[in-house]
Homo-oligomer: A and B are copies of this chain.
Amino acid sequence: MIRMKTSSYFLPDLRDAPSEATTASHRWMLQSGMIQSTVSGIFTWLPLGLRVLEKIKTIIRQEQNAIGALEMLAPTLQPATLWQESGRYDDYGLEMLRINDRHDRVLVYGPTAEEVFVDVVRRCVQSYKSFPLNLYNIQWKFRDEIRPRFGVMRGREFLMKDGYSFDLTEKASKITYRNVFRAYMRSFYRMGLSVIPLQATTGPIGGDFSHEFHVVAQTGESALYYDAVLDDRNVPRFEVSDFQGIYAMVDEKHAPEQCPVPLNQLRVARGIEVGHIFHFGDKYSAPMNAQVFLKEGRKVNLQMGSYGIGVSRLVGAVIEAFHDERGIQWPISIAPFSLGLMHLQESLEPEAAHVYDRLQAAGIETLWEDRPLSSGEKFALMDMWGLPFQAILSEKNHHKGHIEVKIRRTGERHFFALEEFLQWILLQCKEHITLAIIETS
């Protein structure tokens, strides 16, 4: 059994706040050793950061699969010809990275993948029997931002979940859109986030109907205008209709003179966009000839929607939502480890090893701070890493048969006997045990 000990883990934390970081998430991700900047807007994910990214992927995947969406994987590089066919090759401008291969054929590093998915579907299926189809992938994308900033929140190479739905009728397509809307809200909820869905403009993706999903945070780049009732609507089981007819607009769509919400009821906030969904009918299927014959013999263009979540951006957005002056405060569901274990005196190392083994046997993901640091240094590191729970073994408490537990977010402390502690922590974490299962054979 491998014990996750800081002495053998790769945790290159920085003493001081890095000067290039202007937001909390950028600072804490660099400082706690989650990422390293490889070149402007392009990051290497260190082990601690990758664990969070993988957990976010798992939640998104589970919620997509739950609505019958099927995971596949488009390549990062796409032929320019597909973009010429849809008419977007010239629209995209300098943000799209264009590459000449050795035979001087032009490839693009996909900033999104509508064309590739339409191409897959039109080449495979002729019959109406194959629909509805809702396909998604989680893949690295590239947008050549002129001024990358805020760390992973506006990087150039970024991880995106992008999904594409194909229906025979507009009605069916809108039902799919609502299902994805619900899956998105559930995904964000499971990450511990309060997310506001807002009516949005469609931008370069195009189409006639669109929502953005925003985490409310002071460092957000977007201005949001919404009815205050939405602040209470983000519940685990909800209906999409709970959000319909309620005023919620991004900046470009908000018109003060037409806003029906009384001023004292109107929230004006900053938001970080973490998702964007579009219904755009046959915008791509028409020019790219993605058509099928209906049962009665009539040929129709497929009705499409596309659905994006910024997976790597979410890591930053969650930190913007959950941190204090000492570091990160992870929600349990996506914390890199659920619990940080530390012993304050070297004499307690055997006891700590025993507690570690019991935690591991119970399936609790534990990081054990076993380096010869001072108590103060250990407390500071643990608070920075932001693991939801800290278990502290000290001689004083050991004599009483106690383990001290600190809840990172509230600062609350409990004192438990070992068995009591194990039962308690299992109860806190049991809905969130995902990664540990696939990591060990």
Contact = CB atoms under 8 A, between A and B. Distances in A.
A72 interface: yes
B46 A72 contact: yes
Nearest to A12: B124
Interface in A2-53: 2, 7-10, 12, 33, 36, 38-40, 42-47, 49-50, 53
Nearest to A96: B102
Interface stretch (A60-68, A203-211, A273-281, A342-350): A60-68
A119 B47 CA distance: 15
Interface string A132-173: 010100001010101000000000110000000000000000
Given A2-B66, A101-B144, A102-B144, A78 B8 contact: no
Interface string A199-226: 0000000000000000000000000000
B65 A45 contact: no
A38 B72 contact: no
A42 B75 contact: yes
A65 B2 contact: yes
Contact of A78 (B39, B79, B438, B441): B39
Within the oligomer, what is the number of copies of this chain? 2
Which size bracket describes the interface of A in this complex?
35 or more
B94 A72 contact: no
B123 A77 contact: no
A123 to B, nearest CB: 7
Contacts of A7: 129
Contacts of A62: 438-441
A77 B47 contact: no
A38 B438 contact: no
Given A62-B440, A135-B10, A44 B77 contact: no
A426 interface: no
A76 interface: yes
A434 interface: yes
A44 B82 CA distance: 14
Contacts of A94: 102
A50 B71 contact: yes
A35 B432 CA distance: 33
Contacts of A146: 102
Nearest to A65: B439
A39 B124 CA distance: 16
Given A38-B116, A101-B97, A45 B63 contact: no
A229 interface: no
A437 interface: yes
Contacts of A129: 7
B120 A44 contact: yes
A286 interface: no
A44 B75 contact: yes
B72 A50 contact: yes
A60 to B, nearest CB: 11
Given A39-B105, A61-B438, A101-B156, 6 more contacts: A12-B123, A38-B74, A42-B77, A46-B120, A50-B72, A434-B438
6 contacts: A12-B130, A33-B124, A38-B78, A45-B72, A75-B140, A97-B99
Interface of A: 2, 7-10, 12, 33, 36, 38-40, 42-47, 49-50, 53, 58-59, 61-63, 65-66, 68, 70-79, 81, 94-95, 97, 99, 101-102, 105, 107, 109, 116, 119-120, 123-125, 129-130, 133, 135, 140, 142, 144, 146, 156-157, 190, 434, 437-441
